[in-house]
Amino acid sequence: MTYQAAENRYASMPYRRCGHSGLKLPAISLGLWHNFGDNKPFDNSRAMLLRAFDLGITHFDLANNYGPRPGAAEETFGRVLKQDLRAYRDEMIVSTKAGWEMWPGPYGEWGSRKYLMASLDQSLQRMGLEYVDIFYSHRPDPETPMAETMGALDAIVRQGKALYVGISSYSPAQTLEAASILQALGTPCLIHQPKYSMFEREIEQGLTQVLSDSGIGSIAFCPLAQGLLTSRYLNDIPADSRAAALDNHFLNGDAVTPRLMQLRQLNDLALQRGQTLAQMALAWALLTVTSVIIGASRVSQLEENVGAIANLAFSAAELQEIERILAST
């Protein structure tokens, strides 16, 4: 069946200006970190991408190593783009990144000019694109000079392979240095992608001020703390959850158990607001960042998360209660 985008796709989603640029991002963006690799049913991945676009999600966030298998998420996205979304390319923001290990040898990770430019060429081929809207340095490189990494980003824009550039997981000091170099080159840093949630608030210790002062937008990954800030963990750790998996390096039972009482109290507050815990957690993060990146394993989960936009305002009393809960042990 030929896909036709919903006519009302822009009726509800808020779009926010990214830093001092002319680009607006949807409050909710879709990340393809999990659930879009070649170990997942293609039809489900396609259904989530199309439903996201129908709900007003115009920004799709990828990276070279997203899968599993590394590169598979970009291939999945490219397949859906070719099959269903090609006519809507100019309505979409597509981002990808390079920085983590992608291929063997000394040129397959970090921040060298050789790696970044080769990686983007491979990403464009996998997705069937001539350019991406945003290309990120996925992590700072402690050995490559910052000027080389930022110079590669500038060259990528000048070659027409990306419209904007960004950085991810850079410290406040590294962000200042990167932004200064890019500004001098004439390719301003558009956006920073940090980890941020109710349980991961490090960016409030300097980074948010740097971004504000520098006119750089922000987009949070893991705003639901790897699924912890959802109704899944209100009673205990489900046997089929990420936290229960012995090989999960991002979320484990030791991180969940001390949070159970907090999760239940936060959930009670969310219910009073007419929201699920996940919806409230996303709305809370959007008080600080331009956009949040959600992950989803099914369409219903995607729809629930997008429902956060129905109530993005917090009273002073609600914010105080959230701080009280987060400070409790």
Q: In a structure prediction context, what are the per-residue pLDDT tens digits for the chain, which is 329 residues long? A: 799 999 999 999 999 999 999 999 999 999 999 999 999 999 999 999 999 999 999 999 999 999 999 999 999 999 999 999 999 999 999 999 999 999 999 999 999 999 999 999 999 999 999 999 999 999 999 999 999 999 999 999 999 999 999 999 999 999 999 999 999 999 999 999 999 999 999 999 999 999 999 999 999 999 999 999 999 989 866 655 555 454 555 555 567 888 999 999 999 999 999 999 999 999 999 999 999 999 999 999 999 999 999 999 999 999 999 999 999 97
H-run or E-run covering 28: strand 28-31
| Of the candidates 96, 88, 103, 97, the residue with the CA atom closest to the CA atom of residue 56 | 88
Name the amino acid, one letter, at 132.
V
Q: How far apart are the first and last CA of the chain?
A: 53
Name the amino acid, one letter, at 19.
G
H helices present in the chain, as ranges: 42-54, 72-80, 113-127, 146-158, 172-185, 207-214, 253-256, 260-272, 277-285, 299-306, 316-327
Reported as a single tens digit per residue, the pLDDT across 92-102 is 999 999 999 99
Rounded to an integer, what is the distance from CA 198 to the centroid of its chain?
16
Task: Give the domains, in start order, of the chain with CATH numbers.
Answer: 15-225+288-297 (3.20.20.100)
Q: Which residues make beta-bridge pairs with 294? A: 30
d(CA 210, CA 215): 8
> Residues 73, 33: contact at Cβ < 8 Å?
yes
